[in-house]
Amino acid sequence: MPSLFASYLRVYEPLTAFDRDRQAFWRRYVSEGRAVAPSEGPGRQRSAVIEALGAGWTRLPDLPEEAYVLEVDDTLLVCPWNLRIRVAEAALSARDGVPAVLADAFVPSVLAGQAKAVVEDWRSGARVLEHGVPRVHEQIATWGVPLRWFVLVDAEERELVTRPGRRELRYRTEISKARRRASRALSVLRKTVGEAPITEAVEEAARWLEEFHPRSMVELDYGGLVDLLNDETLAADDSPGLVAAGLTGLSKGESEEASAAYDRLVARWRAIQLLERCN
Cα separation of 45 and 101, whole Å? 29
> Which of 80-89, 114-123, 194-203 has the highest average model confidence (pLDDT)?
194-203
The answer to whether the beta carbons of residues 211 and 258 sit under 8 Å apart is no
Q: What was the pLDDT predicted at 124?
A: 67
Among candidate residues 262, 248, 21, 6, the one with its CA nearest the CA of residue 141: 6
pLDDT, average across residues 252-267: 90
Q: Minimal CA–CA distance to 208: which of 127, 85, 123? A: 123
C-alpha 238: how far from its chain's center? 20
Q: Is 199 helix (H, G, I), strand (E, B) or coil?
A: helix
Pairing of strands 75-80, 166-174: unpaired
Give the Cα separation of 235 and 246 in Å (integer).
Answer: 21
Boundaries of every domain in the chain: 6-140, 144-278
Q: How far apart are CA 163 and CA 226, in angstroms?
A: 12
Q: Residue 102 corresponds to which amino acid?
A: L
8 Å CB contact between 217 and 9:
no
Q: What is the mean pLDDT of residues 244-250?
A: 94
CA distances from 74 to 14, 70, 77, 78 (A): 11, 10, 10, 13
**Chain segment 176-221, per-residue pLDDT in tens:** 999 999 999 999 999 999 989 999 999 999 999 998 999 999 999 9
Report the relative pairing of strands 217-221 and 75-80 from DSSP bridges.
unpaired
Most confident of 93-102, 112-121, 252-261: 252-261
Give the burial class of 104: count Cβ atoms within 10 A of its Cβ; 0-12 exposed, 13-18 middle, 19 or more buried. middle
Per-residue pLDDT tens over the stretch 48-72: 777 766 555 566 666 778 899 999 8
Question: For the chain, where are the alpha helices, taking DSSP H only?
Answer: 20-31, 41-52, 83-95, 100-106, 109-124, 126-131, 147-150, 175-192, 197-209, 231-236, 239-251, 255-273, 275-278
